[in-house]
């Protein structure tokens, strides 16, 4: 998972700055909010993806045989467990 610092610097390079610090020092305070919104959305997506990856890896599934068919039931608790949320 990318760190917040990596995302800030990656975004800064996309808009032709060397890093986040150069971007911040090159803008007025009212302009910085726009850049923060973009970066925080990207970070939120990164965290959500990591949580979903963790849930997929940690989920448990039970197979139940019925009349020649096999049903699979996912354990909701294993999917919703807080341990799936990455440490920030």
pLDDT tens digits along 72-81? 999 999 999 9
* Arithmetic mean of pLDDT over the chain: 94
For 87, the 3-state DSSP assignment is coil
User: Would the pTM count as exceeding 0.85?
Assistant: no
Domain that residue 24 falls in: 4-84
Could you tell me if 15 and 59 are in contact, meaning their C-beta atoms sit under 8 angstroms apart? no
Percent of residues, the chain, with pLDDT higher than 70 = 100
Domain count, the chain: 1
């Amino acid at each position: 998972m990318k760190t917040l610092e990596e995302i800030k610097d990656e975004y800064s390079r996309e808009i032709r700055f060397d890093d986040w610090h150069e971007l911040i020092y090159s803008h007025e305070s009212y302009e910085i909010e726009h850049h923060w919104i973009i970066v925080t959305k990207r970070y939120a997506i990164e965290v959500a993806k990591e949580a979903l990856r963790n849930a997929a890896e940690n989920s448990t599934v039970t197979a139940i045989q019925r009349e020649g068919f096999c049903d699979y039931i996912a354990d909701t608790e294993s999917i919703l467990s807080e341990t799936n949320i990455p440490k920030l």
